[in-house]
A and B are shown apart, each in its own frame.
Chain A
Amino acid sequence: GAVVSQHPSWVICKSGTSVKIECRSLDFQATTMFWYRQFPKQSLMLMATSNEGSKATYEQGVEKDKFLINHASLTLSTLTVTSAHPEDSSFYICSAASTGVGSTEAFFGQGTRLTVV
């Protein structure tokens, strides 16, 4: 299957700093990418949907000024957690969608464990 690379796999940052997480589709063009947050033993909570070249669509309750999403190309989307605080500590996962008749599928990155201290 297609490969989605998410980087970094883990990061520790100080409170008040910003952290950028990258999500790359390595062998296909992803017109749509999804960003999720997952708390321990819970499901994936959709934060936002991004389409290449346009602004991301954020889910209700997600602060778009805090979680900046950029989808500048068909193979790269980034999530920047601005002015991070300990409550932002979580596991973040990206997904890149490949759409087509009979081949629609979403591929996932390995996830990023963010710890804010």
Chain B
Amino acid sequence: AQTVTQSQPEMSVQEAETVTLSCTYDTSENNYYLFWYKQPPSRQMILVIRQEAYKQQNATENRFSVNFQKAAKSFSLKISDSQLGDTAMYFCAFFQGAQKLVFGQGTRLTINP
């Protein structure tokens, strides 16, 4: 069974700093997708970034980028120039076909002014 592990329950950084959230996963599949979602206090899940496993190039979305290491089954999220609005819960998720969308435990990120 696929599992996703986020080993950092909480993180806190100062505004404008760079922060990296870690995520590892376990699967025997070769084709899958990985996501980072943000959940603000409203609890609406917001997609931050997506990575296709068949792509070697790391995905980037403005201030957000990932370090995808397929062999190591690692998928970390880097937030550059962090902003107060980045404060939220962040979840790493594994998606394989139409079968499973599984989440890690989450990391509570606080950006301090």
> Residues of A with Cβ closer than 8 Å to B?
1, 31-32, 34, 36, 38, 41-44, 46, 49, 51, 57, 91, 93, 95, 97, 99, 102, 104-106, 108, 110-111
Cross-chain contact A43 with B103 (CB below 8 angstroms): yes
> What would 9 A/B residue contacts be, using CB atoms closer than 8 Å?
A36-B103, A44-B91, A46-B102, A49-B101, A95-B101, A97-B98, A106-B47, A106-B101, A110-B44
Q: Which residues from A are CB-within-8-Å of B52?
A: 102, 104
Q: Taking chain A's interface residues, is the majority helix, strand, or loop, or is none over half, making it mixed?
A: strand
- By beta carbon, the residue of chain B nearest A4 is B45
Q: Are A43 and B98 in contact (CB under 8 A)?
A: no
Q: Give, as a whole number of angstroms, the nearest-CB distance from A79 to chain B.
A: 16
Q: Which residue of chain A has the shortest Cβ distance to B43 in the bound complex?
A: A111
Chain A contacts for B102, CB-based, 8 A: 46
Query: Separation in Å of the B58 CB from the closest CB of chain A?
Result: 16
Beta-carbon contact of B50 and A43 below 8 Å: no
Contact B33 A34 (CB under 8 A): no
**B93: which A residues are within 8 A, CB to CB?**
106
Q: Decide: B91 and A32 in contact? CB cutoff 8 A.
A: no
